[in-house]
Amino acid sequence: MSSLLTTEICVVGAGPAGLKAAISARDMGARVAIVDSGVNLGGQLVKQTHKFFGSRGQFAGMRGIDIAKLLSDELFGDPSVDVLSDSQVVGFYDDGTLAIEKDDSIRFLKPERVICATGASERMLPFENNDLPGVYGAGAAQTLMNMYGVKPGNRVLMIGAGNIGLIVSYQLLQAGVSVVAVLEAMPHVGGYHVHARKIQRAGIPILTSHTIKAAHGTEAVEGATVWALDPEFHPIPGSERYFEADTVCLAVGLSPLTELLWQADCKISYVPELGGHTPLRDENYETTRPGVFIAGDLAGIEEASSAMIEGTIAGLSAAKSLGYQTDDFEEKLSRAKAELRTFRQGPTGRKVRQGIAKLMALTEGVRAFD
């Protein structure tokens, strides 16, 4: 067994949330280790070739891949930051020790604080033959294309017209792949209309109130049957249509990746508005286990912009809890919280606001009970 390593703050996950958490904690003076299972830091950002919306403070107008580089460069070479890439945290023990796997060996790290920013996993959909080769999560298809230069197929049927389904459809087109249709179970497109218009202009039909009935093929996907849904989301018999396709991409939502926090015995509740099982946390993103903080999609499915702001709050708060203080701490913390409130204003933020209200009430309940 290798020796036990230590650090003040370990950030698990180097997506936009984790990178910002590490930068903020480091800027407060804390010693930080940031661990990511990917070879490159950046999480989802490294495959996002499109330009971001949002506010200037969260790099609006820049491509995700460039944001990843900018944030990672802030950490590389800094003597107070240890970067452990290609390393997966596989265990979170009762005494706070983390087990980290790299190259088939395990190292143990015992930090004083943990900031978990492990992101999300893609949801599956039940339909006939959903285990055929050629059925992908849209994020997996994006990884193949944008990170490894491999086309997932030649004719894709996309399920889901939220931002991910729309953006990945457009990127498939850019890679020379045909997208035969985008299906959406809701009666309206869920993603930004600017993304929807781009793919409609390219001649791709978006079929709202439709879902997949079955994929067909023997060794791999060769086609799919889709059908229409009534206002109660029941399939309408007789509305079936067949599409020839070698790939079915599922962009039907994400769920917070909570495995490590179950191990850490943090309280977790089912909050559908935030993507499913979500860790309870306070306004500083500290979970019900003192010293364990969260940020990003793990704290509720949202966007890279909000993930970065949450990372900032978690990083500042974790460092503060170790006794670090800077003149601008209060100003930075309240600015970040105000930015989050602004980001979540309006009709697009309603669902997340409702989810957070539920989550905070649940956290309060647990604390009162404790």
Tokens 């460092």 correspond to: 319
Question: Does residue number 7 form part of the binding site for ligand FAD (CB under 6 A)?
Answer: no
**Are 293 and 114 in contact, with CB atoms under 8 Å apart?**
yes
Distances (CA, A) of 322 to 7, 18, 31, 112: 12, 18, 11, 8
Provide the minimum distance between the beta carbon of 239 and ligand FAD in the complex, in angstroms, as a whole number. 29
Among 9, 10, 11, 14, the residue binding ligand FAD under the rule CB under 6 A is 14
Gap between the Cα atoms of 266 and 339, Å rounded: 27
Gap between the Cα atoms of 168 and 143, Å rounded: 10
Question: Does residue number 17 form part of the binding site for ligand FAD (CB under 6 A)?
Answer: yes
Among 7, 10, 11, 18, the residue binding ligand FAD under the rule CB under 6 A is 18
Question: Does residue number 114 form part of the binding site for ligand FAD (CB under 6 A)?
Answer: no
Question: Does residue number 48 form part of the binding site for ligand FAD (CB under 6 A)?
Answer: yes
Question: Does residue number 37 form part of the binding site for ligand FAD (CB under 6 A)?
Answer: yes
Among 10, 16, 252, 286, the residue binding ligand FAD under the rule CB under 6 A is 16
Among 158, 167, 309, 314, the residue binding ligand FAD under the rule CB under 6 A is 167
Gap between the Cα atoms of 292 and 277, Å rounded: 17
DSSP 305-353: HHHHHHHHHHHHHHHHHTT---TTHHHHHHHHHHHHHHHT-TGGGHHHH
Among 111, 134, 139, 153, the residue binding ligand FAD under the rule CB under 6 A is 139
Region from 118-126, 230-238, 267-275, 337-345 binding ligand FAD, contact rule CB under 6 A: 118-126
Closest to 361 in 3D by CA, of 280, 256, 278: 280
Provide the minimum distance between the beta carbon of 327 and ligand FAD in the complex, in angstroms, as a whole number. 28
Closest to 191 in 3D by CA, of 173, 171, 206, 176: 206
Among 43, 134, 253, 355, the residue binding ligand FAD under the rule CB under 6 A is 43
Provide the minimum distance between the beta carbon of 274 and ligand FAD in the complex, in angstroms, as a whole number. 12
**Are 278 and 355 in contact, with CB atoms under 8 Å apart?**
yes
Chain residues binding ligand FAD by CB under 6 A are 12-18, 35-38, 43-44, 48, 50, 52, 88-89, 117-120, 138-139, 142, 163-164, 167-168, 257, 260, 296-298, 302-305, 307
